Chain A
Amino acid sequence: MFYREAGQFRTSYAQDTQIFPLRQDRLAMMALLAAAFIAVPLFASDYWLRALLIPWLIFSLVALGQNILTGYAGQLSLGSAGFMAVGAFACYNFMLRVDGMPFLVALVLSGLCAAAVGMAFGLPSLRIRGLYLAVATLAAQFFIVWALDKFAWFKNNDPSGVITAQPMKILGYSFASPQAKYILVLAIVAGLALLAKNMARGATGRSWMAVRDMDVAAEVMGLPLMRTKLQAFAISSFYCGVGGALFAFAYLGTVEPSAFTIDLSFRILFMIIIGGVGTILGSFLGAAFILLLPILLSVLFHAVFGKIVDASVTSSVELIVFGSLIIVFLIVEPHGLARLWQVTKERLRLWPFPH
């Protein structure tokens, strides 16, 4: 009953284009952020922070990157894990080789490195489209991992061929505790998500979607296809790169290049398909679905069947259920969780009057 726009009029274009036209939505968002920044760190257990929330936020960021490229600009890419790797290893090297390098600066720089690499591998998109492009971007995936694996310099000649993330210090404060790490990641992700939203609803987003929906028409209107596509690749890769750096620094700690497998790339693409192509919210929902569902299943199965049934059986069944759920979901709501959420909201607006 209280979810109404009654009496809320928009008197300027600025008001008309804001993210949450409805006051209720704005309040809800503020409450959510407050909870995320204050309540969660206070009450969430270490397990939730270190094993679920931090990786979820990180993958949401990466999914956001993928969504910019695939969802908004319509370029199907399977290189995201590769771009994550670039970010992770770049960040490590900046921290290692530039003494006194502030973490945040290193983070941005590593994002830029990823962006540069992303642009390079985005070049084929000027001529190749659709699934062909997707498979072509696998070249990025495999080449990047190979290169990072091959050349010891990237890993500071570590005999085990891995990098160990340096402690994250900002203005002398080191973000070591799960809570601190979580807040840092949350702040970065929230900030970047806002920027993404601004781009998406502004001129930048319009040109991406124009290229996605009808590139010939876009060109006829004077949109530079090449620049728009490469821009999308760059920005998307920037997000992936930052995500990768956080993946290494705030989550895994010690990483080898082969941690960024093609399987990861697929899962990231999954996140946006399940979450909702071309929506910011969808990136977060999708990441939750793909990342947390298997965990949920395995917790559930172990809780229920525990030691009674051979764990091999439960593991296989987990896999089956996960796969089936994905298929079922794609059938039921091919437009993703975000659409589901939108629909419920529409219903809520009209509730209790059925339209």
Chain B
Amino acid sequence: MGFQFFMEVLIGGLLSGVMYALVALGFVLIYKASGVFNFAQGAMVFFAALSFVGFMELGLPFWAALLVTIGVMVLLGMATERFVLRPLVNQSEITLLMATIGLTFVIEGVAQLVWGVGVRRLDLGIKDVPLPWLADKTGIFISQLDVFAAVVAGILVATLALLFAKTDIGRALRAVADDHAAALSIGIPLKRIWALVWAIAGIVALVAGMLWGARSGVQFALVFVALKALPVLIIGGFTSVPGVIVAGLIVGAAEKMAEVYVGPKFGGGIESWFPYALAILFLLIRPEGLFGEKIIRRV
């Protein structure tokens, strides 16, 4: 049992980490492009999943519902850019953060007004049970849904990477991320880019929402996955996509290890703060996060 169990904890942890990273990804995209710490990401995850299920309930087939929801999220993203961010441009980081929290309330309210407060389940056709063959061969239990989620996350990240690397939009994005002023000066439509990024973040939220929803139901509690993403973010650095992936894996594995092997000594439940303690440790070593850009402070 010993080693098997260890492997189970490790792999399980890593896979949970992927789930965290999925949420953190949305934060990074927006922060990178517009310097906004978008606390509403959690609400967006909830809203996206809820809308998707809602449309299915209205009788839309899976793919149609998916497309429509993507449409919704894109609209939401653009609306946010137009009505929240654009008027607040050049405001301090905190002000922007606070605005996104206000946005959180709005999204939560709209979601519950439009779709009601009922709890729904989301079936992606993959059962959340251990991979049979793995269980038979090694006795190690790994949920196939988690594996599926990991694969999806991988594809998502790969697509984004491609988007950034190969397309003009991507190049523009990177330019914006590097230096807003410069980007403007070479004629990149900043506002359009921001809207685009918010739209992409919305889609990322949808993916995260669907996977989380399939795992633990589509319901208000999905809002709180944002909290799981925060330590991941500071370890990975607000501006680094590979950063959050790695950090997600680290946090996932570490927190499970801690909860299973150390937790019992303190009566358990240390998962609530352990990732943050871990994050602080990382920060003390690298204040700008694992992959974040080094902060150079000239005199």
What is the interface of chain A, defined by CB distance below 8 A to chain B?
70, 76, 124, 127-132, 135-136, 138-139, 142-143, 145-146, 149-150, 216, 262, 266, 269-270, 273-274, 277, 312-313, 315-327, 330-331, 334
Asked if residues A131 and B238 are in contact (CB atoms below 8 Å), the reply is yes
Q: Are B231 and A135 in contact (CB under 8 A)?
A: yes
Which chain A residues lie closer than 8 Å to B105 at the CB level?
319-320, 322-323, 326
| B175 interface hit (Cβ, 8 Å) | no
Whether B101 and A266, one on each chain, are in contact in the complex, defined by CB atoms closer than 8 angstroms, is yes
Looking at chain A's contact residues, the main secondary structure is: helix
Q: List 26 A-B contacts (CB under 8 A).
A: A124-B280, A127-B287, A128-B280, A128-B283, A131-B238, A132-B283, A135-B276, A136-B280, A138-B231, A139-B276, A139-B279, A139-B280, A145-B272, A273-B98, A274-B98, A320-B110, A321-B109, A323-B104, A323-B106, A324-B102, A325-B102, A326-B102, A326-B105, A327-B99, A330-B91, A331-B87
Inside 8 A of B99's CB, which chain A residues have their CB?
326-327, 330-331
When chains A and B are docked, how far (Å) is the Cα of A279 from the Cα of B289? 32
> Taking beta carbons and an 8 Å cutoff, which residues of B are in contact with A?
37, 83-84, 87-88, 91-95, 97-99, 101-110, 112-113, 116-117, 227, 230-231, 233-234, 238, 266-267, 269-270, 272-273, 276-277, 279-280, 283-284, 287-289, 297, 299
Q: Are A131 and B276 in contact (CB under 8 A)?
A: no
Which residues in B have their C-beta under 8 angstroms from that of A270? 98, 101
- Contact indicator A330/B297 (Cβ below 8 Å): no
A322 / chain B contacts, CB cutoff of 8 Å: 102, 105, 109
Interface contact B113-A320, CB-CB below 8 Å = yes
Residue from B97, B117, B297 in contact with A131 in the complex, judged by beta carbons closer than 8 Å: B97
The residue of chain A having its C-beta at the shortest distance from the C-beta of B110 within the complex is A320
Cβ-defined partner of A320 (8 Å) among B83, B109, B267, B289 = B109
Q: Tell me the nearest residue of chain A to B107, going by C-beta.
A: A323
Residues from chain A with Cβ under 8 Å of B101 in the complex: 266, 270, 326
Cα A243 to Cα B281 with chains together (Å):
30
What residues of B have a CB within 8 angstroms of the CB of A319 in the complex?
105-106, 108-109, 112
Are the C-beta atoms of B270 and A146 separated by less than 8 Å?
A: yes
User: Could you count the A-B residue pairs with CB atoms below 8 Å apart for me: how many are there?
Assistant: 132
A76 nearest CB neighbor, chain B only:
B94
A129 touches B287 (CB 8 A): yes
Taking CB atoms, residues of chain A closer than 8 Å to B98 are 269-270, 273-274, 326, 330
- B283 x A142 contact (CB < 8 A): no
For A220, give the chain B residue with the smallest CB separation.
Answer: B299
Whether A317 contacts B94 in the complex (CB less than 8 A), given A136-B234, A142-B273, A266-B101, comes out as: no
Q: What residue in chain B is nearest A324 (Cβ atoms)? A: B106
B113 touches A317 (CB 8 A): yes
- Inter-chain contact B84/A327, CB cutoff 8 Å: yes
CB closest residue in chain B, given A216: B299
Contacts A146-B269, A316-B112 given: A136-B276 contact, CB under 8 Å? Answer: yes
Q: Which residues of A contact B109 (CB under 8 A)?
A: 316-323
Within 8 Å CB of A324, what residues of B? 102, 106
In Å, the complex CA distance between A115 and B97 comes to 27
- Tell whether, in the assembled complex, residue A135 and residue B230 are in contact, meaning their CB atoms are under 8 Å apart: yes
Bound CA span A321–B104, Å:
12
Residues of B contacting A330 with CB < 8 Å? 88, 91, 95, 98-99, 102
Query: How many angstroms from the CA of A146 to the CA of B98 in the assembled complex?
Result: 26
Closest A residue, CB atoms, query B295: A129
Query: Do B276 and A312 touch (CB < 8 A)?
Result: no
**CA distance in complex: A317, B284 (Å):** 43
Q: Which residues of chain B have C-beta atoms less than 8 A from A128's C-beta?
A: 280, 283-284, 287
A323 B276 Cβ-Cβ under 8 A = no
Q: Closest approach, in angstroms, between the C-beta of B59 and any C-beta of chain A?
A: 23
* CB-CB nearest 4 A-B residue pairs: A323-B105, A326-B102, A319-B109, A139-B276
CB distance from B194 to the nearest CB of A (A): 16
Q: Cβ of A262 and Cβ of B227 under 8 Å apart?
A: yes
B269: chain A residues at CB < 8 Å are 146, 149-150
The residue in A135, A262, A312, A317 that gathers the most chain B C-beta atoms within 10 A of its C-beta is A135
New A-B pairs, 19, CB < 8 Å, besides A143-B276, A319-B106, A327-B84: A128-B284, A131-B238, A132-B283, A136-B276, A136-B280, A139-B276, A262-B227, A273-B95, A273-B98, A274-B98, A312-B112, A316-B113, A319-B112, A320-B105, A322-B105, A322-B109, A323-B108, A326-B102, A330-B98
Known pairs A273-B94, A327-B103; A135 contacts B234 (CB<8 A):
yes
Question: What separation, in Å, do the CA atoms of A346 and B1 have in the docked complex?
Answer: 75
